[in-house]
């Protein structure tokens, strides 16, 4: 025998134990049979029904969009629950009748419903969103009619909400259903008809981060297509949160300063590019635009003459007027066209060929040097140096300061304005440059156009001793799932090739503009401010006193400023459309914004404790490129 350990009593024992196994087996198999009887006989008809109509529907679970906060964590955009109505065509017995019923219950155009039902990917099994933001009344109405409405489902979804209403509307943007055109693009490949995407502002620019990822659930439906039971097979992933650089309070102040007038105010921190406020008026309520608008509502908004959807800070292109003299001064000194002590005689006009170019001051400023020309905004001085430099030198410096190109701010459809040059004229107009046009350009008129954001960046670059930092709206993105916060460091755009002495001269002259020049209305007891006024002509025809001119032909008022003069931490550009002179209409607004800022952030004032000043970090010195 090959085996050991064998004995008879062991085997007898084993036989007894096998009986236990037999009994156990029979019991368990009986249980299985009972379960199968339950499934197949007792509940058989129910499951048969489910299988025959393939009674499971795959429903997309919309993700919650990421939240948007300001620099101090004030909530600017969140999500609130809302009801959405879906229709699954597979379960609809009579489509025409259903469309009619829904149209009357929801007061919708039957054609709109038809269109919703016939567009989109997926077959008849794919539920289609017909309407969202149902009111509670509408939702209960539908629910109470559910027996007459086969194939209709009410889903609770999250709806974008902007708690502050129209504050920062142009920055935040709004959301809307993804369009058919967008769905064709690879960026939207993971979306479907009815998906909500950002359509404007940072909502659009950062849509991929904020959007999140949709989930899915399998819904068991009854014979009428109504939900019986749902199984979440794939949870939706919330989008990332955005932390903006703006200060919501300052933003509101800036918007209120513009009030009902049209215009823009941009305030940024020149040391790191943080946009502290960017107001554009008139505005809009993103809550309204994120709803589904009727054609009529949409036309009303788009055709509004004051163009509320236009973000004037990044999309409005205006002649810079005398604010351009800041760039002109740098160009003239740096190209050695003049020295700081070069004097120009101003008699109130500049004769070129057979045309006389007027100074804004009748009778002129007398003999002025660069410093005085800036303080009093002498046109003749800049006509003269502009003519000596030529347009291409002006263009070269204007581009160095970032004009004629995107600032790179994280907003869609930024406009770039125009920096005219001989090459530009040839390309754009197919005409040679006429020397007379240089004279207009020298005071920021003629072909030159800029956006308020570009001007804020220009004055910020001057304030920051020539180091240009890319303006930015978003500080950080936080992943909602992992809690990881990714900070965006400031980006250095470059350093303008202007000597520190030149910049120092310009800054000191701009400080004097406020203390004794054209912008005394910007003088503040709280903080030292430097700035430059500008008045952008909109119509060539100018007769009679200002108040007699119809408003839409009046000049735009400009003011660009920085503060504190000693160590600037805020740069502001104000543009007030058709408000006349920069010194009277725009400068006080800039002063108010700056005062509000230094009140809220006293640590930016000179002499404040160093630890406080670190709150909004400047670009470290070693990050600066060599020039």
Partner 1 sequence: MIDRVIDSRGLDSFDLRFMGLIAVILSVGVLSIYSVTHSQDTAFPFYLKQLVWILLGTVAFLVMYLSDYHKIARLAYPTYAVILIMLAVVLFMGKSSRGAQRWIPIGPFAFQPSEFAKLVLVLVLANYYSRASRVGWLHRVVLPGLIVLPGLLLILKQPDLGSGLSFLAVYAAMLLMVGVRSKALGIILLLSVMLFPFVWEVVWASLHDYQRERVMAFVDPDYDPGGKGYHALQSRIAIGSGELSGKGLYGGTQSQLKFLPEGHTDFVFAVYAEEWGFVGVLVLLALFIALIWVSLEIAARAKDTLGALLAAGIVAMLCFCVVVNIGMTAGMFPIVGIPLPLVSYGGSATIMTMASLGLLLNVKRRRLTLFY
Rounded to a whole number of angstroms, the minimum distance from the CB of residue 234 to partner 1 is 5
322 is catalytic: yes
Residue 114 buriedness (CB in 10 A; 0-12 / 13-18 / 19+): middle
- DSSP character for 322? G
Cβ proximity to partner 1, 2 vs 540, nearer residue: 2
Taking CB under 8 A as the rule, does residue 606 contact partner 1? no
DSSP 536-586: E---S---S-GGGS-GGGSPEEEEEEEE-SSS--EEEEEEETT---IIIII
Which pair of structure tokens corresponds to residue 380?
């003749």
Rounded to a whole number of angstroms, the minimum distance from the CB of residue 50 to partner 1 is 5
- DSSP character for 189? T
Can you give the three-state secondary structure of 56-108, one letter per residue? EEEEEECCCCCCEECCCCCEEEEEEEEEEEEECHHHCCCHHHHHHHHHHHHCC
Rounded to a whole number of angstroms, the minimum distance from the CB of residue 59 to partner 1 is 13
Interface with partner 1 in residues 425-464 (CB under 8 A): none
Cβ proximity to partner 1, 90 vs 414, nearer residue: 90
Q: Which residue in 447, 424, 421, 401 sits closest to 573, CA to CA?
A: 401
Interface with partner 1 in residues 55-114 (CB under 8 A): 55-56
The total of other beta-carbon atoms located within 10 Å of residue 481's CB is 10
Rounded to a whole number of angstroms, the minimum distance from the CB of residue 92 to partner 1 is 21
Using CB under 8 A as the binding criterion, the count of chain residues that bind partner 1 stands at: 50
Cβ proximity to partner 1, 22 vs 137, nearer residue: 22
Cβ proximity to partner 1, 25 vs 180, nearer residue: 25
Cβ proximity to partner 1, 234 vs 396, nearer residue: 234
**Rounded CA separation 529/604 (Å):** 13
Taking CB under 8 A as the rule, does residue 223 contact partner 1? no
Cβ proximity to partner 1, 18 vs 614, nearer residue: 18
Taking CB under 8 A as the rule, does residue 339 contact partner 1? no
Question: What is the contact mask toward partner 1 in residues 110 to 139, using x (rule: CB under 8 A)?
Answer: ------------------------------
Q: What are phi and psi of 495, to 5 degrees?
A: -120, 130
Taking CB under 8 A as the rule, does residue 50 contact partner 1? yes
Taking CB under 8 A as the rule, does residue 190 contact partner 1? no
Indicate if the alpha-carbon torsion angle 322, 328, 329, 330 is positive or negative. Answer: positive
Q: What are phi and psi of 339, to 5 degrees?
A: -105, 170
Interface with partner 1 in residues 226-245 (CB under 8 A): 231-234
Q: Which residue in 112, 167, 156, 162 sits closest to 134, CA to CA?
A: 156
Cβ proximity to partner 1, 32 vs 428, nearer residue: 32
**Rounded CA separation 239/195 (Å):** 14
Catalytic hit among 158, 322, 457, 616: 322
Interface with partner 1 in residues 2-21 (CB under 8 A): 2-7, 10-11, 13-15, 17-18, 20-21
Taking CB under 8 A as the rule, does residue 44 contact partner 1? yes
Taking contact as CB under 8 A, which single stretch among the options 25-33, 137-145, 495-503, 514-522 is the one that binds partner 1? 25-33
Q: Which residue in 452, 397, 386 sits closest to 419, CA to CA?
A: 397
Three-class SS state of 133:
strand
Position among 111, 187, 220, 300 found at the interface with partner 1 (CB under 8 A): 220
**Rounded CA separation 533/284 (Å):** 29
Taking CB under 8 A as the rule, does residue 1 contact partner 1? yes
Taking CB under 8 A as the rule, does residue 47 contact partner 1? yes
Q: What are phi and psi of 273, to 5 degrees?
A: 85, -5
Taking CB under 8 A as the rule, does residue 482 contact partner 1? no
Q: Residues interacting with partner 1, by CB under 8 A?
A: 1-7, 10-11, 13-15, 17-18, 20-22, 24-26, 28-29, 31-33, 35-37, 39-41, 43-48, 50-52, 54-56, 216, 218, 220, 231-234
Catalytic residues: 322
């Amino acid at each position: 025998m090959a085996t050991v350990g064998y004995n008879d009593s062991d085997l007898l024992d084993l036989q007894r134990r096998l009986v236990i196994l037999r009994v156990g087996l029979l019991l368990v198999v009986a249980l299985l049979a009972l379960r199968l009887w339950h499934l197949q006989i007792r509940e058989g008809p129910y499951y048969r029904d489910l299988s025959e109509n393939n009674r499971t529907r795959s429903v997309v679970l919309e993700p919650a969009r990421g939240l948007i906060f300001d620099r101090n964590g004030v909530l600017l955009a969140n999500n609130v629950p809302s009801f959405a109505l879906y229709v699954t065509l597979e379960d609809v017995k009579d489509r025409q009748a259903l469309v009619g019923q829904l149209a009357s219950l929801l007061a919708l155009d039957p054609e709109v419903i038809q269109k919703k039902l016939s567009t989109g990917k997926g077959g008849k099994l794919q539920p289609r969103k017909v309407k969202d933001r149902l009111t509670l009344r509408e939702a209960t109405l539908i629910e109470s009619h559910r027996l007459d409405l086969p194939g209709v489902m009410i889903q609770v979804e999250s709806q974008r909400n902007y708690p502050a209403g129209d504050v920062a509307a142009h920055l935040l943007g709004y959301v809307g259903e993804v369009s058919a055109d967008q769905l064709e693009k690879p960026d939207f490949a993971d979306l479907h008809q009815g998906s909500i995407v950002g359509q404007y502002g940072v909502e659009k620019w950062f849509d991929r981060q904020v959007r999140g990822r949709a989930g899915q659930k399998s819904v068991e439906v009854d014979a009428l297509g109504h939900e019986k039971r749902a199984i979440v097979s794939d949870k939706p992933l919330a989008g990332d949160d955005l932390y903006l650089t703006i200060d919501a309070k300052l933003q509101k102040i800036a918007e209120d300063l513009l009030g009902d007038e049209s215009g823009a105010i941009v305030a940024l921190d020149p040391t790191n590019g943080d946009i502290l406020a960017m107001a554009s008026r008139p505005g809009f309520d993103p809550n309204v635009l994120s709803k589904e608008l009727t054609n009529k509502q949409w036309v009303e908004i788009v055709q509004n003459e004051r163009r509320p959807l236009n973000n004037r800070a990044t999309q409005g292109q205006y002649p810079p007027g005398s604010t351009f003299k800041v760039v002109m001064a740098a160009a003239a000194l740096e190209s050695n066209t003049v020295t700081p002590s070069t004097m120009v005689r101003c008699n109130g006009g500049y004769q070129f060929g057979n045309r006389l170019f007027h100074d804004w001051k009748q009778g002129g400023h007398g003999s002025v040097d660069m410093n005085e020309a800036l303080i009093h905004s002498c046109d003749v001085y800049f006509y003269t140096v502009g003519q000596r430099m030529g347009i291409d030198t002006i263009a070269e410096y204007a581009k160095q300061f970032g004009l004629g190109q995107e600032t790179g701010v994280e907003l869609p459809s930024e406009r770039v304005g125009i920096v005219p040059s001989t090459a530009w004229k040839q390309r754009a107009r197919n005409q040679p440059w006429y020397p007379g046009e240089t004279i207009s350009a020298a005071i920021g008129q003629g072909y030159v156009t800029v956006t308020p954001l570009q001007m804020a960046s220009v004055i910020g670059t001057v304030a920051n001793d020539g180091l240009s930092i890319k303006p930015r709206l978003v500080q950080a993105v936080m992943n909602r799932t992992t809690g990881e916060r990714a900070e965006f460091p400031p980006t250095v755009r470059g350093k303008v090739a202007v000597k520190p002495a030149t910049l120092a001269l310009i800054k000191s002259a701009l400080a004097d503009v406020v203390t004794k020049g054209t912008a005394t209305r910007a003088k503040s007891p709280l903080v030292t401010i430097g700035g430059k006024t500008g008045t952008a002509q909109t119509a060539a025809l100018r007769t009679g006193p200002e108040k007699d001119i119809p408003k839409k032909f009046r000049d735009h008022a400009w003011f660009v400023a920085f503060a504190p003069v000693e160590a600037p931490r805020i740069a502001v550009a104000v543009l007030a459309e058709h408000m006349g002179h920069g010194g009277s209409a725009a400068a006080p607004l800039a002063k108010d914004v700056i005062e509000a800022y230094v009140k809220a952030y006293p640590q930016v004032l000179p002499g404040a404790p160093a630890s406080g000043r670190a709150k909004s970090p400047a670009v470290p010195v070693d990050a600066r490129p060599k020039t």
